Structure formats: structure tokens, C-alpha cells
Amino acid sequence: MTESAELQSSPRAGGVLEHAKRRGVLYIQILLLVALIAIWQGVADRFDTEFWTSSPLSILAALFQWYESGQLVTDLQLTLFEAGIGFVLGSIGGGVVGFVLGWVRKLGDIFEPFVLSIYTLPKIALAPLFVLWFGIGPLNKVMFSALLVFFMVFFTTFQGIRQVDLDLVANARLLGARRVDIWTKIAIPYSAVWVFTGLRISLPYALIGTIVGEFVAAQAGVGFRIKEATTYFNTAEVFAGLVVLMAISLLLLGVLSLIERRVMRWQTADTVSISDAAGTT
Amino acid sequence: MFRFSSFRQRMIATVLLVAAALAAGPSGAAAQEKPIDVNLAVSSTSFVLGGVRIAQQEDLFAKHGVTLNVSVMDSGNTAIDALISNSVQFAVAGPPDVLVARSRKLDVVIAANLYRGAAGSVVLSKAAVQRIGVKPDAPLPDRLRALKGLTIAVPSATSTQTTPIRAAAKAAGIPLSFTYMPQPAMVAALAAGAIDGMMASSPFSGQPILQGTGVLWINGPGGGFSPDATPASSSCLNTTGRYAQSHADVVRRMQAVMADVATFIKQNPDQAKRDLAKGYPKVDQKSIDLIFSQEAQNWTQPVLTVADIEHEIVLLPNSSSIPDIGKMDPASALVMKP
């Protein structure tokens, strides 16, 4: 075995290499971001595209002004609250219904076309109806977010539960496992990967639901400020709102990733990447 | 070489030539008079467009060689966006939208006035009126004070519907809380209790009253707001300065249509009312009669003056979102000759 192969095959050395690789990628990403921002600013200055595309400096100024006015914090709080509650409600609803319909196959077969039919509706068209049903307060946005999240989590959970190895379930039953044991020790862990995939996909949808709700009718919130800025033809403020939304999304995805790593710890192990493995064998 | 062998043949050839020339003449003229397609984005389907609807029914656009294609947007601001993006040549929006756009250095100018004065009325839900304990015939300051704490829907921050209520409340020192939604959505939202009140123009302002879910609180077209808070215009025909220069003839035609319809409404009120009913087929005759009697004169003043624009500037809110509005030259916003 050569020295480099030895280095690669030792778990500690592999970890160091992996870390160095990730750092390299991070540097490239930062460079790319800086270059994009510089080009954006340059184009805005050179071609006077401030109204159409704004510019990073104007967006920064708009963000600062928003913060100074004291509205950024209250808008963020409201939007995060609405999206968060909507996400939790939609996830629980989608998870429970998906689990039940996925586990009880007959029930799933009966209800699947109905759920699919509702899913195919362009849900954005329901937004004005939500104003009638839930008013213009936070409940409207919470329910709209929950609706969007529900379907994402429902389908992945449903699919995950249906992937459970039935032989494993039969063996567990033979060994005397109770229904609760089968759910908690086989079905839920088995489908957890699917459920978390659904949660990850649906998280931006929770935010979309809230923003659409705030666009339709609201008195505060990040979406409301974006809409207000468009009426003043204030492109910098619109972009500032978008930057805030992007930051919220990334933050929430990070939090979800942490939770996922903690909950799914049993599944993660020190593994060598496929290419590394191929190189050492 | 071909030669005419007889006088008769010459006569036949002459007649054929004359006939051919006559046949070619009108078609050439027709080609010159081919109507110009004009795309117009409008802010809503409300009665601020009453004059335009009557002009359409009377074929006044066709008379001036214009074929009008109308697209309905959900606010004046969106209509201006369509104009700026060159999707349309003209946009209907109120002066605030135009002035805010100009404060952002956007090349939008007013070509004609479509509606003089305030078009919007404040309508409160019956539940809200019972809750606040003020009567609809109370003095205006009392009715304005009663709005404090209520959720009032307006089409947008820069809508002309928002202008009078915001100005009146500001003058009385009353903070109001607005929510933004398209006018057609306000009626259902008011009935469902999602909002306490709405500021909209007819027919939307009249619907809750007819349905028994709303109470007329301040009648805009009926002179319910003080002159200081009343806008000079609630709706204008706008275009870009560049288009006004490059297509001055089209702009003149559109201005001529609005001048013609103003004359027509004054001279033929009964026919104009019938045209209005045809233009708004879903509105019942009783409402048409009421709206026409109250609002028809507002469609008959197609010219805005520099003083009108100065008044509109004063009515705009003090906001950092409208940069350098105080330094704006009011005359630069107009392409009409008063």
C-alpha cells in the first residue's frame, strides 16, 4: 500500500482531507458570491439599472432604514411566527394523515384519489377564500402555510410508510412485538428519512404560504412590506424584503438540518465517500 | 406594339383605367385610415372608467381611428408597471401613482383626466358601526375619529382611493390602519367581517350597502370630504413621455376621444346613461341611475392643470418612499394643454 493510500484509508486522515475539501468549496462559494455582488453593483452603476435591478449598496441602505424604523424586527417576528406555526401544524397534520393512510393500506387506497385531487388544485387561487374564512389576521397566513406544508409532508410520509419492509414487520410480530413496538421501532424509523425529506422540501413552502397571505391582505409582515414597496416603485426595498426572506429560509433550513442530525443520529456514521472508497480498493 | 384600332376601343380602355383608378383610390385611403391598435391597462373595472365605457359604446375611439384593447389590472400601480415595461401604450391610474413613479425618475406623464374629484367612499360594516356607537350622519370630524382602531381596506398605499381618507385623517390628527386589497375583494371581506371598513369607488362601494352588510360612512363623490382632502382627479390616462413625443398623434387622438365623450355626456345625458348601463351589464338600473346622477359630471372634465398637480403633490404622504417630491415640477407631469 502506498503512503497516500494509507493516508486516505485511515479514518482520521480521511476526515482531514474531507474537511480541507469542504473548506476549498466554501472559499470558492464566497469568491463567487463576492464576484456576483461586485458585478451586480458595477452593472447598476454603469448602466443605471437602479429601478430594474436595484444594487447591493441600495439594498443594504434599504435594509438599514428598515431596521432603523423598528419595523424590520416586528415584521420578521410576525412572518416567522405565521410561517413557523403553519409549518408545525402542516407537518403534524401531513405526518399523521400520511402515516395513517400509508399504514392502513385499504384506507390509503380509498382516500388517495381525494387527497390527490385537492393537491392538484392551484392553491394560490384559494388565497382570497382564506381571507373570507380566516380574516386578514395571522390565522389566515398560518392556515395557508399549513395547507401548503401539509401536502409535502403527507406525500413523503405516505410513501415512506409504504416502503416499510413487510417481512420485517411479520418477523417482529412473530417475535411478539406489539403494534406500538412495530410503529415506534420499525415504521417510524424506517420512514423517518422520507419524513425529513418532506419537511426539508416543505419548509420554503411555509414561507411562501405566509408571504402570499401577506400579499393578499395584511397590515404588517415581510410580505406586506414587499407589496407596499412595489406600490412606491421602490425596487431596493423589494430586494431588501427578498434578502430577508432568503436569510429566514436558510436559517430555518439550518435549524431543521440540526434537528435532523440529532434525531437521525442512529443513521449517520463515519463513512468514506464513494470516490475515496473507489480510490483505495 | 399594342395600338387602339378604333375610337370605341379607346373609350373602353379609358373607362377601364378610370374604374381601376377609382377602385384603387378608396383602398389607398382606407389603408391610410387603418385604425391604430392601442393597448390600455386599467386599474380596476370601477366607475372611474365611466367616461371610457361610454366612449366605447359610442364608438368614439373608432371615430378617432383607434382600436382599444383593454387589460384589467388589480391596481393603478400594476397598470403603471405594465406601461413602464412597454406592454401597453397607455395606463389608467390616479395622479398619486404617476407622481410616485416620477419621483423614482420613471418617465410617466398624464395625457388626460378621466375622473374629477374623489371617486371613493368609505363604507363600514354594520357590525363596526354598532361597535363604535357613532351615527352615519354625525359631523365629519366625529365620523373620522370613529375610524381609529378599525381595519380599513384600500386598494394600495398610493391609490387615489387612499388619498382623501388619509389626508382627512391626517388633518384631524387621527392615526388610521390600512390593509391593501383589490376593490372587488373588499366587498366579500367586509361581509365576512375580515375588515371593518373599505374605501372604494362605485360599484364596489355600493354593493355592501345594497346587500345590507355595510353603511355609507363618507360619500366621496357626494362631496363628503373637505376640499383640502379631495383629490383633483381620481383617475387619469397616462403614457410615457417618450411615447408622447414619438406618437404625439395617438396621444392627441386619445385626448380628443376624452374631450368628445365629455361633450357627449353633457349634450346627451340620457343616451350616455344607456351607454353606461351597456358598459356595466352586471349593475342594476337603479344603481346606474344613482351613480350617473352623482358622478357623470366627474367624467366631463378631461383636462388637469398645473394647480391640480400641485394640489395632488400636497396630498401625498410625507414618506421617504417618495424621494424629492417637493422639488418636482408639476408641469412636467402633464402632456395636455389646459
Counting Cα atoms < 13 Å in the Cβ hemisphere of A182 gives 19
C-alpha cell at A200: 426539508
Write down the domain spans for chain B.
36-117+233-333, 120-229
Nearest-CA distance from A224 to chain B in Å? Answer: 9
Nearest-CA distance from A145 to chain B in Å? Answer: 19
Which of B161, B209, B201, B159 lies closest to B184 in space, CA to CA? B201
pLDDT tens, position by position, B238-288: 999 999 999 999 999 999 999 999 999 999 999 999 999 999 998 889 889
Q: Do B36-117+233-333 and B120-229 have matching folds? A: yes
For B153, name the nearest residue in chain A, comparing CA atoms only: A217
Which of B163, B160, B154, B95 lies closest to B123 in space, CA to CA? B154
- For residues A140 and A220, the answer to whether their CB atoms sit within 8 Å is no
DSSP sequence for B67-90: EEEEEE-SSHHHHHHHHHTTS-SE
Nearest-CA distance from A237 to chain B in Å? Answer: 9
- Whether A256 has its CB under 8 Å from any CB of chain B: the answer is no
Which of A110, A123, A275, A140 lies closest to A220 in space, CA to CA? A140
Residues of A in contact with B105 (CB under 8 A): 51
Q: How many CB pairs under 8 A join A and B?
A: 74
Res A37 pLDDT > 90: yes
Q: Which range (A171-185, B188-202, B222-236) has the least confidence?
A: A171-185
pLDDT tens, position by position, B165-175: 999 988 888 88
Distance CA A51, CA A84 (A): 33
- Mean per-residue pLDDT, B208-226: 92
ipTM passes above 0.90? no
Kindly report the CATH number that applies to the domain delimited by B120-229. Answer: 3.40.190.10
Check residue B81 and give its pLDDT: 93
Nearest-CA distance from B21 to chain A in Å? Answer: 54
For B74, name the nearest residue in chain A, comparing CA atoms only: A216
Residues of A in contact with B186 (CB under 8 A): none
What's the whole-model pTM score? Answer: 0.80
| CB contact set of B29 (below 8 Å; sequence gap of 6+) | none
**Residue B22: pLDDT band with limits 50, 70, 90:** very low
- Whether A217 has its CB under 8 Å from any CB of chain B: the answer is yes
- Cell numbers 363596526 correspond to B128
Instruction: Find the CB nearest A131 among B159, B189, B319.
Output: B189
Maximum CA extent, chain A: 75
- Whether B127 has its CB under 8 Å from any CB of chain A: the answer is no
Check residue B12 and give its pLDDT: 63
pLDDT tens, position by position, B35-61: 899 999 998 888 999 999 999 999 999
For B193, name the nearest residue in chain A, comparing CA atoms only: A135
Q: Which residues pair with B216 in a beta bridge?
A: B123
Helix axes of B76-84 and B95-103: crossing angle, nearest 10 degrees: 50
Residues of B in contact with A51 (CB under 8 A): 104-106
Give the class (CATH, top level) of B36-117+233-333: alpha beta
Which superfamily does CATH assign the domain made up of A55-267 to? MetI-like (1.10.3720.10)
| CB contact set of B325 (below 8 Å; sequence gap of 6+) | B99, B100, B103, B313, B316
- Whether A218 has its CB under 8 Å from any CB of chain B: the answer is yes
